[in-house]
Amino acid sequence: MEKDKLLFYNEYEQFYEMAEKSIAFQKFCFDSFGQDFSQDGFSDIEQIDMILPYIPAKEDVHILDVGCGNGKMLGYLQKKTGAFIHGFDYSQKAITNARTQFTQKAEFNVGIIGEIEYPDNFFDMVVSMDTMYFSKDMSAFAGQIKRWLKPDGVLFVGYQEGELVPRTIDENTTQLAKALKNNGMSFEAKNITKQTYDLLKKKRETAIIHKAEFENEGSIQWFDMLMMQTECAEGSYQQFEKEMARYIYVARK
Ligand SMILES: C[S@@+](CC[C@H](N)C(=O)[O-])C[C@H]1O[C@@H](n2cnc3c(N)ncnc32)[C@H](O)[C@@H]1O
């Protein structure tokens, strides 16, 4: 598959180039999300800390992050747990950066969701924050992840409806819920739509605080992108909730 034909490929190459250089964006991430993981989405530190209890407290634990970007979220999880971290992303820029920053007990690959392969029964945990939607066939990809997980392994997913996939009724009707059920995987899901609305408002306020720094750096287009991304939280929560939903899924084989 030619990467530049994939959704947002060129945009993400530019995004990770900016994320590496822009001090304004690094400050924006820290102030909005509680940590700078170069987030392009909704993963604040509260959501990432929800992963920690599922990482087994033992030697030789392996975690995979699907669409890991520049690896900063994995770096945080490694710092907290000592786990061996694995990540893949289609962005060459992001993976080059990850490989430079994280060199101990770490493996980063350039790879495409649905195409890259890992050994069966290998991972204690697979994390996918806002990346399941990039698979051409979510059910087939969930099946792949199921194979990669150890028998007691856990899949942790941050999943947003209303942008790349349409809003459905609830956590049991999403494309992801269907994909998990198709593969016989059990799951629990937590609805965090209200927290996400609040986070988007905070992102908007924080971006405005840092606007002059974006301007001075010559990276005002990324400020504009943040304004566009957070416009959906300008109205009431009741309106937002009609169009958007966010869930955290914890699934098992
Ligand atoms: C919405 S961002 C989420 C990034 C990060 N997980 C986070 O929570 O901030 C989507 C990520 O998936 C990567 N990505 C998008 N489509 C992909 C694909 N088809 N194969 C591999 N990676 C992809 C992007 O480069 C980007 O890092």
The closest-lying atom of ligand 1 relative to the alpha carbon of residue 115 is 20
In a domain, 222, yes or no: no
Coil, strand or helix: which one is 56? Answer: coil
Q: What is the pLDDT of residues 107-152, one digit of tens each?
A: 999 999 999 999 999 999 999 999 999 999 999 999 999 999 999 9
The closest-lying atom of ligand 1 relative to the alpha carbon of residue 15 is 25
- Alpha carbon of 220 to ligand 1 centroid (Å): 23
| CATH number, position 187 | 3.40.50.150
The closest-lying atom of ligand 1 relative to the alpha carbon of residue 111 is 21
In a domain, 62, yes or no: yes
pLDDT computed for residue 134 by the predictor: 96
Token code pair at residue 201: 């408002």
Q: Tell me, what DSSP letter sits at residue 90?
A: S
What b/e sequence results for 93-114 when a residue is b if at least 16 CB atoms lie within 10 Å of its CB, and e otherwise?
bbbebbbeebeeebebebbbbe
Q: Whose structure tokens read 């937590």?
A: 190
In a domain, 206, yes or no: no
In a domain, 73, yes or no: yes
In a domain, 246, yes or no: yes
pTM: 0.97
In a domain, 201, yes or no: no
Q: What is the pLDDT of residues 27-81, one digit of tens each?
A: 999 999 999 999 998 999 999 999 999 999 998 999 999 999 999 999 999 999 9
Q: Is the distance from the beta carbon of residue 90 to the nearest atom of ligand 1 less than 6 Å?
A: yes
Q: Is the distance from the beta carbon of residue 131 to the nearest atom of ligand 1 less than 6 Å?
A: yes
Token code pair at residue 84: 């061996």
> Which residue range forms the structural domain that includes residue 17?
3-196+235-252
In a domain, 70, yes or no: yes
Q: Is the distance from the beta carbon of residue 171 to the nearest atom of ligand 1 less than 6 Å?
A: no
Q: Is the distance from the beta carbon of residue 134 to the nearest atom of ligand 1 less than 6 Å?
A: yes
In a domain, 145, yes or no: yes
- Alpha carbon of 69 to ligand 1 centroid (Å): 6
Q: How many domains does the chain have?
A: 1
